[in-house]
Amino acid sequence: MTAEPAWIDLATSPIARRGPTALRIMVGSQLRKLREACGITPQIAGERIRGSHAKISRLELGRTGYKERDINDLLTLYGVSDPVQREAFLKLVRLANEQGWWYGYSDLLPSWFENYLGLEGAAQWIRTYEGQLVPGLLQTDDYARAVVMMASDTRDVMRRVELRRKRQEILEVPGGPSLWAILDESVLRRPVGGRQVLRGQIEHLLTMSDHPKVTVQVLPFSASGHAAAASSFAILRFTEEQLPDIVYLEQISSALYLDRPQDLETYRHVMDCLSIEAATPVASRALLAAAAEALKA
């Protein structure tokens, strides 16, 4: 008996509730496996859908939406003729094409960040190192407003703050991600929004450090230069084996998403070094409390 393809039950699996971004990655992974099983090159597949190998790459990485006509043509090329299997795959594609919760803010968001929002909500673990600012998932409204005002585009400040607050809801969703944040001590000294705003932010970090799904560590100035020289980055891990870990590097006007094994290994090692160099969660609470107390003067 021929085994059913992996995508048959995906539309009703838990991953389907994780949002369209994770589903796009799953669809892309299945397309790649089908293509490789047939020994078809990306160039040939691209020509079949009136595109290029670059378009196939974007589809297989889940970096773009899917046209049903293209998927039908690819399934035919890859020898998927069973109507039940084809319809199951197309159902998955339709779910992957649905709009995420952030669609109402799309006028404020660059496309490269929309992708991150979807991955953030679908992750099981988020490990992040921040050398300049408090991570968005832990920012107070006042601190977030000050961060937004530092940007070159300050349209709809309140909506941008609201968007950041909605992002933070994933920490309260059952089955949602856990957050492990390492902050350079300079984050606690940089008066974003002024002393009172920073004090309120640090007090919020203290509160969130008690959250069952949040771990906060502070990397003190006394840490080795090697650890402190790391740039801000995040590692996202997913429960599904079909979804690889992803390293997210945000730049001024773009972002990088790394999932090659060698890149993942490098950044996991750096994150592990940072967590060792940083103060323990208990000692970090003491540093946070001291920083907040110093701002009372």
Q: Domain extents for the chain?
A: 10-96, 107-294
User: Percent of the chain having pLDDT more than 70?
Assistant: 92
User: Could you tell me the pLDDT band of residue 200, with boundaries at 50, 70 and 90?
Assistant: very high
User: Could you tell me the pLDDT band of residue 101, with boundaries at 50, 70 and 90?
Assistant: confident
Q: What is the mean pLDDT of residues 93-100?
A: 89
- Domain 107-294, classified CATH 1.10.10, yes or no: no
User: Percent of the chain having pLDDT more than 90?
Assistant: 65
Is the per-residue pLDDT at 180 higher than 90? yes
The CATH class of the 10-96 domain is mainly alpha
Can you give the pLDDT at residue 157? 93
Report which DSSP code applies to 127.
Answer: E
Q: What is the mean pLDDT of residues 94-118?
A: 87
Most confident of 30-44, 149-163, 212-226: 30-44
Query: Whole-prediction pTM value?
Result: 0.83
Q: pLDDT: is 122 or 292 the higher one?
A: 292
Distance in angstroms (rounded) separating the CA atoms of residues 59 and 28: 6
User: Could you tell me the pLDDT band of residue 1, with boundaries at 50, 70 and 90?
Assistant: very low
Task: Please return the burial class of 229, using the count of CB atoms within 10 Å of its CB with bins 0-12, 13-18 and 19+.
Answer: exposed
Q: Give me the sheet containing 178-184, strands edge to edge.
A: 214-219, 178-184, 125-130, 233-237, 246-250, 255-258
Please provide the average confidence, as pLDDT, over all residues in the chain: 90
pLDDT digits (tens, 9 = 90+) for 9-28: 666 666 666 678 888 888 89
Distance in angstroms (rounded) separating the CA atoms of residues 84 and 108: 40
Is the per-residue pLDDT at 213 higher than 50? yes
Q: What is the mean pLDDT of residues 205-227?
A: 91
pLDDT digits (tens, 9 = 90+) for 31-84: 999 999 999 999 999 999 999 999 999 899 887 889 999 999 999 999 999 999
Give the pair of three-digit tokens for residue 181.
């944040």
Which residues, 6+ apart, have CB-to-CB distance to 70 below 8 Å? Answer: 49, 51, 59
| Three-class DSSP category at 260 | coil
Cα 41–Cα 43–Cα 49 angle in degrees, nearest 5:
110
Q: pLDDT: is 116 or 154 the higher one?
A: 116
Pick the closest to residue 185 from 294, 60, 22 (CA basis). Answer: 294
Distance in angstroms (rounded) separating the CA atoms of residues 145 and 161: 6
Can you give the pLDDT at residue 153? 72
